[in-house]
Amino acid sequence: MTLSPEIKPGFRDPVLDAQSVFRSLLEATARPGRIHTLEGITDAPAPLHPATAALCLTLVDHDTPLWIAPELQTEESLAFLRFHCGCPIIDTPGEAAFALASADKAPALSSCTPGEQAFPERSTTLIVQTDGLEAATGSLTLRGPGIESVHRLSVKGLRPGFWGEWQENGSLFPCGVDLIFVHGTDVVSLPRTTVVDADPEES
Amino acid sequence: MSQKRPTAASPEQTSEQRARQRWLSTLAKADFEDLEALWNNLPAKPAWTVIRPPEIGMVMTRGRAGGTGQRFNLGEVTVTRCAVQLDYGAVGFGYVMGRNRHHAELAAVVDAIMQTPSRRDALERALIAPLSLRHEDSKRNRGRKAASTKVDFFTMVRGA
């Protein structure tokens, strides 16, 4: 007999929960910088946050190669993703449709694929687990489609140099990586069109 | 990504796989009342968590005319599936025809316990063997009833 590591349960109602998470993510992407809460998962496999697990259950399946940063690869998280998502787990973020990482060790945005001119939707969506998200008071200033004037945002625990790479990512439009920040059950989505001005001391 | 999936009783299967196929088939074909009654009589049961709640879907069944012809789609059947994990880690799956969620969950739990070598024999005697016996019985009865309605047509040979 093969003893499996503990597999945490997925959504209680796979159809309705996935729909509601998808709807929330859609809202979050339409209004970059606003914090949305994802319900559906309370008990996520360590070290994934509940919102990360909910996003994976909603977005990831056998058609979407997934890259997971080494620090997030535990027996428990891999068993959860293999069982519930059935996704191929690959070694390089460059071929991934979705990539999971933590904020302090986020991969270089240039190592993810920005898509092609003819197929910009084939880019990687990077899901980053942070130490905290705060809207309205943060040191980041967000502009772009979906934002009337500016939004303030703070992302805790992010590695230095990230926002410089984000600026380069924005210049690749229509290609480019999309970004989802996660903390607990909170998500903030930054599509490639969002322009971020970081305070010099935080970037 | 296309992997060759072994079909029923293919030679490259291990004996472990064949054994599991047998008990999964017995659990799927069993009458739910029988299964539940036998399950309730069991002395010790492990705790389990449902990792994939019972869900109802459709599966396309296929057949071959006479068992040898071209494969064709016979039609879709409703199937309920469920996955559970026991407190000590074994994962069990239940796939049953119809919409009975409890049947699928119970089948998954029994499958998980059957994968534990130390508990297999006891459960085989208490649950799987009686169920498969009952299934064989009902199959024989049905066969007998059908056989009793058989009509032998014969034609008089003219001019003999």
Interatomic CA distance for residues A97 and A108, integer angstroms: 16
Question: Which chain A residues are within 8 Å of B50, Cβ to Cβ?
Answer: 9
Question: Which chain B residues are within 8 Å of A7, Cβ to Cβ?
Answer: 51, 85, 91
Chain-chain contact of B51 with A5 (C-beta, under 8 angstroms) = no
Closest CA to B42 of B114, B98, B96, B90: B114
List chain A pLDDT tens, one digit each, 203 residues.
455 788 899 998 889 999 999 999 999 999 999 999 998 898 899 899 999 999 999 999 999 999 999 999 999 999 999 999 999 999 999 999 999 999 999 999 999 999 999 999 999 999 999 999 998 888 899 999 999 999 999 999 999 999 999 999 999 999 999 999 999 999 999 999 999 998 755 44
Confidence of residue B7 (pLDDT cuts 50, 70, 90): low
**Cβ(A107)–Cβ(A70) below 8 Å:** no
Beta pairing, strands A151-156 & A125-129: unpaired
Question: Which chain A residues are within 8 Å of B117, Cβ to Cβ?
Answer: 1
Task: Report which secondary-structure segment, H or E, holds B86.
Answer: strand B71-86
Chain-chain contact of A4 with B89 (C-beta, under 8 angstroms) = yes
User: Position B56: which residue type?
Assistant: I
Question: Which chain B residues are within 8 Å of A9, Cβ to Cβ?
Answer: 49-53
Output the pLDDT for position B157: 75
User: What average pLDDT does chain B have?
Assistant: 88
**Angle at which helices B101-114 and B15-29 cross, to 10°:** 150
Instruction: Convert the pLDDT of each residue in B80-136 to its tens digit.
Output: 999 999 988 899 999 999 999 999 999 999 999 999 888 899 999 999 999 999 999
From the list A6, A10, A88, which residue is nearest B52 (CB)? A10
Interatomic CA distance for residues A42 and A46, integer angstroms: 12
Instruction: Convert the pLDDT of each residue in B11-62 to its tens digit.
Output: 677 888 899 999 999 999 999 999 999 999 988 889 999 999 999 999 999 9
Buried b / exposed e across A40-59, counting CB within 10 Å, b at 16+? bbeebbeebbbbbbbbbbbb
Instruction: Convert the pLDDT of each residue in B87-97 to its tens digit.
Output: 888 999 999 99
Interatomic CA distance for residues A29 and B96, integer angstroms: 41
Chain-chain contact of B90 with A83 (C-beta, under 8 angstroms) = no
From the list A9, A14, A83, which residue is nearest B49 (CB)? A9
**pLDDT exceeds cutoff 60 at B5:** no
Looking up tokens 């047509």 gives B153
Output the pLDDT for position A63: 94
Structure tokens at A200: 């010099």
From the list B52, B83, B90, which residue is nearest A3 (CB)? B90
Output the pLDDT for position A2: 54
Structure tokens at B119: 């508990």
Chain-chain contact of B91 with A14 (C-beta, under 8 angstroms) = no
Peptide bond into A160 cis (omega under 30): no
Question: Which chain B residues are within 8 Å of A6, Cβ to Cβ?
Answer: 85, 89
Interatomic CA distance for residues B123 and B100, integer angstroms: 22
Tell me B66's DSSP state: G
From the list B49, B53, B116, which residue is nearest A1 (CB)? B116
